[in-house]
Structure formats: C-alpha cells, structure tokens
Structure 1
Amino acid sequence: MPQMAPLLWLNLFIFFCLSLMIFFIMNYFLPPHSKTSPISKPWKMEELNWKW
C-alpha cells in the first residue's frame, strides 16, 4: 500500500536518529584507548626468536 510509505520513512528516520544519538553518547562517555608507545615495550626483541 503506498499510503504506508511515509510511516516507513518516519520509522527509519527515528531509528537512525536514535542510533546516532546512542553512538555519540557512547563516544562521549567511554574513555579512549590507551596507546602504548613503542619505546616502553614490556618484552625485548631478542626474546621473540622463534627459530630452533
């Protein structure tokens, strides 16, 4: 039925707005990833020799 098309687009628009709002809220409240610097590695390169 073509009469139902505006209701479908309205539902899709509301779903898009809600998911976008949840995405922004999660990005605002969740802390960013802690980036490790390559200088302060807990292991040494000599320990990674996998050859026998």
Structure 2
Amino acid sequence: MPQMMPLNWLMLYSFFIIMLMIFSFVNYYSFIPYPPITKKSLSPNTLNWKW
C-alpha cells in the first residue's frame, strides 16, 4: 500500500527521473550533424511548367 511505504515511491520516482535524464543526454549527445545539402538553383529558363 502506498501510504505504508512512501520511501519506495520516492525511490521509484527518482529512478524514473534519473533514467529519463540519462536517456535524454544519450539522445542529445549521440546526434551526428550532417553538413547541409546545397540545392541547385534553377534558372527561370529551365523551368518547364506543363499546366
């Protein structure tokens, strides 16, 4: 029963908070940014709109 063992609830809460923080840190620092891909600009003469 929760009212008889508040310490276990506190430990469970702290465990999940710590796991959430660890998961967030791992996701944040494992991200590898790639260089931006440059798109070729199209000149107006090469656009061929077929309506």
Normalised by the size of structure 2, how large is the TM-score? 0.55
Give the alignment's Cα RMSD to 1 decimal.
Answer: 2.8
Say which SS state the counterpart of residue 23 (structure 1) adopts.
helix
Q: Larger radius of gyration, structure 1 or 2?
A: 2
Letter paired with 1:15: F
Structure 1: state its 5+ residue gaps: 44-52
Shift of 1:32: 4.5
Runs of 4+ residues deviating >2 angstroms:
31-35, 40-43
Q: Percent of counterpart pairs with the same letter?
A: 18
* TM-score (ref. length: structure 1): 0.54
Cα 1:8–1:33 change in 2 (3 A) is farther
Q: Please, which runs of 5 or more residues in structure 2 have no aligned partner?
A: 42-51
Q: How much has 1:31 moved relative to structure 2?
A: 2.7
